[in-house]
Chain A
Amino acid sequence: MDMANATESSNQVRVHELDEHRASLFKFALLQLRDEAQAEDAVQETLLAAMQGAEGFSGKSSVRTWLTGILKHKILDQLRKSSRERLPDVGYDEDCSDDFEASFDEHGSYVEKPAEWGSPDAALSQKKFFEVLERCMEGLPKNTARVFAMREIMGLDTHEICNETGISATNCGVLLYRARMALRLCLDQRWFGGNR
């Protein structure tokens, strides 16, 4: 418990070193929280926790990996906090235009057959691809993005998301569906379309 006893030299991570990661952590948090103040809080708490627990850093992973691990928990705390403050109809208030809806005709068939993406795994080794992915995520409506982050980044299951946010399982499924279809369309247009 007594952090003061941990001598500075025994800490493998130094304070100034932590601060170098601030901007990157902030961007990561903002993409998921969509709220600057909350993202700032999450990062602040992460750096604080890191400073207090620097000896918990094993040195096996990179500092960034270690910090991101802490940040994920802090983001989740923020998501919990804000969903408690929010009305339970959080799932409905989207100002969504749902572009992907236009991919279907009135019979529920694709207007244009979804295109082949070739071997998409190759994209995963390209830094540019992830920049495009981030831009696509930025395009999601706030609550859609939050629920999607809880599912795919925090790894919560839909039950847990329901409990955390107070939205119904059906609603949660709808938001995840919209997020995926919107991201699929966005990647198709902005990345894989370029290969055609």
Chain B
Amino acid sequence: MRIIQIFLLTAGLLAARAALAIGPVPVSLRNVPVPPVPGLLDGVNPIVVNKNAAIALGKALFWDQNVGSDGQACASCHFHAGADGRIKNQVNPGHNNGHTFDGLASGGAGPNHTLSLDDFPLHQFSNPADNTSQVIFSSDDVVGSAGSFGGQYKTTSQFSGANDQCLRSADPLFNVNRIGVRQVTSRNAPTVINAVFNHRNFWDGRANNVFNGSSPWGERDPNAGVWVKINALSVVKQKLHLINSSLASQAVAPPVNDVEMACQGRGWPDIGRKLLLRQPLQNQSVHPQDSVLGTLSLSNGTSLKPGLKTTYKSLITQAFNPQYWAYSGVGPFGAPVSGVPYNQMEANFAMFFGIAIQLYESTLVSDQAPFDLSPIDASMKPTWRNVVADTAANTTTLVASLKNGVELFIHNHCNLCHAGPSLSLAAVATNAALLKPMPGASFGPPDTPIAFGPNALGPFNAASKGGLTQYGNTVTRDTNIQQLPKLMDLGFTNIGAVAVEDDPGLGGVDDFGNPLSFTEQYVGYLLGNAAGIVDPGLDNIRACDFISPLAYNLQINLSNYFLPSDDLIADGSREGVLRNQNCLNPVTAFIPAPTAAQANSAGSKMAVATQGAFKVPTLRNVELTGPYMHNGGMATLRQVLEFYGRHGNFSSDTQHFHLASFSTLLNSEQNITDLTNFLLSLTDERVRYQRAPFDHPQLTVMHGQVGNELQLTAGNPLNASLAQDQPLVIPAVGAGGSDAPTSAFLSASP
């Protein structure tokens, strides 16, 4: 009996270690709560007093082309499964080679080029499975998103006219024969669907988790704030601190960016001045069955009409606490160069815009993909009982393929970065919330719900293998491609898609010179440099949750780790609250004393991996969200799988270890098919057919300029030196969606 007990105990421990070794399993997004934003809708004095009105405001603003200085809506770059599916005039010259356009693999290039499958991938090897084979083509150009013509902002109209008055001319870079084209962003537009789960947004994380009400920078911006009416006679600028609000932080950047949506020098009060008295979607049809805007639509039956039967000002007064708009005077808010002074509603327009967009985008959760709806087995892997093909035999074949696809996803360590229900480590708060025990709370497929707690992302606390715990670390320590441990931001990795020097990503700095990364700030914390910490929470990182420990409080001989001989202190002792609860290995709940950190500041023990790191994107609806990677360098899922199979394009000191761990088995046709089938199972049909909540008003996107990359038709109404826009009308759809499915990028097969 005793032997049996020992055997069972041993077997259990081995099973636990095996589960821990493979890390978190991908899990359903069903019933996963979006991260809470304290103070936004709750409390005695909430900012938003009518959530439905705020969502309607956000949806209208997101799709309204009047938001841009020259016809660009937020949706112009996020209309296609939340991403950008345009193929013409989408090329940015990249960061190197003097910002000059390269020729692409098809032979075409530059402004107003029409992309084709022959242009991809942007970095090509003679053997796509081997990154040591000869490079047969390489470009640092980026497939981004066409935005604004730019220009210098002058003024705008309060009531009508889509375009701001700006001094416009042909851009010295974005032109064909000196006829200007729209500028193109230097990174690919990621999907907004499920972006609410990201702790930070933008590829480099610069959309801060904390929304300050007026800029993307959270607490980093010393001038940020919102105007609060104290009483009839006084209004003061106060700091705003809304956590889990990186969507709001993100939303307030493009409308004042002169590449994406604006003329240079346009401020948020100017956008308020332009929009507040207007009908939302003034020139765009709104379907009468729109899931959010239908009751405000002027359309009826099959007769679609533009605009809503209200004004932006009216929606704001319905949605927001009057203390943010009801001050009748002017004065402290400033004034435009010409025109009457700004009022409080105009002065706070960035806050209204950011919060409304965030609340709308928080509804864009795709949690009904076949993967989400599949029951799970005891190891929390999908059974695929919900999958049906055209014949019984094909169903059997497809289920087998899907099961192998999941195994490949896990055993090639895709799961270690694409973790949790949003399939991204960047969903810090959500992943942590699911891992925190909460009696009675569950999520996941209806037939087999998953309890909140340490095993929510896999049996035997498998989540910890990915650095995930209920405590929500934003920094971890993991290994690089040479298996050297380095501190890095959880949810941001360098996979080697492009050369590090092409784009620093997370390794860059903000507008104030501070590092974007949390890792650099955590290093500052370890060094005792409080001045270097500009984001909250960096003094609450749990060292014992790191994937690779920072320190061992053991008398052992290990390089690259802080040891007792370095002078260790208990993690949390500096704050007076030890961070050693629920540690898998309590001897790792230690950090170096500041003097020890300073003595090793240039050494391997304090090494970081932030250069060239980018946010781990969600994989949901990935079938529809190409082109892929932050540079848009790959057009098909097959190209992506080949990229991982060859361990990336560019190796560097900061490249993540996981790129080394992909099995060459990934390169077999069957495995590529199976893994692709798993990725296809992440598509929510509501996204594919633009059904609620993914329905939308009419949108006219500027799909390049009239002409081609060699010759343009000048005479844009904005300025004679600019090329005419080539419009592409995306029709309005109601809650029932469209009969036509959304296609993959370039209509390519996976």
> Is B a genuine binding partner of A?
no
Enumerate chain B interface residues (CB-CB to A < 8 A). none
